[in-house]
Amino acid sequence: MASFPDQISKSLKPRLDEGWQVTRADYDAVRETARQCRRALADRMRDVDFLLTPSAPSEASRSHESTGDPVFNRAWTLLGVPCVTVPHGKGAHGLPLGIQLVGPFDGDSSLLGWANWTAEALGADG
């Protein structure tokens, strides 16, 4: 970031700046909470193939400047589990909607199989 600040997107830069304000103690505390949550999620997903969640709070973005609001992906990224969005339906403005499948830790291949099954079950055109 320090070497090429002009190459960082306008939407990412404020989040990075905010991140630099986090103290080491707070950072370590959040990492410990994340470890506890990873263990709890792994325990609860033992008998579950995947979770079905919204992929975004609304339909796809009109512009190509952004992939959309990542709020529904952040938790899965923090927990280190795979997630995949399957397009399905259209929103109020005619733009695509999606559903998100979330798998257990290290369950990437299996989750992709479930995503394929889901896409076929929902129909290719959503």
Look at residue 15 in the predicted model and tell me its pLDDT: 87
CB 75 within 8 A of CB 64: no
> Three-state SS string across 78-118, please?
HHCCCEEEEEEEECCCCCEEEEEEECCCCCHHHHHHHHHHH
d(CA 115, CA 86): 7
pTM of the model: 0.78
d(CA 95, CA 62): 8
Contacts of 40-48 with CB under 8 Å at 24 or more apart are 41/79, 41/81, 41/104, 41/105, 42/104, 42/105, 45/103, 45/104, 46/104, 48/104
Look at residue 105 in the predicted model and tell me its pLDDT: 94
| Least confident span in 2-6, 46-50, 77-81, 96-100 | 2-6
Q: Where are the domains of the chain?
A: 9-122
CB 111 within 8 A of CB 82: yes
Residue range 109-118, pLDDT digits in tens? 999 999 999 9
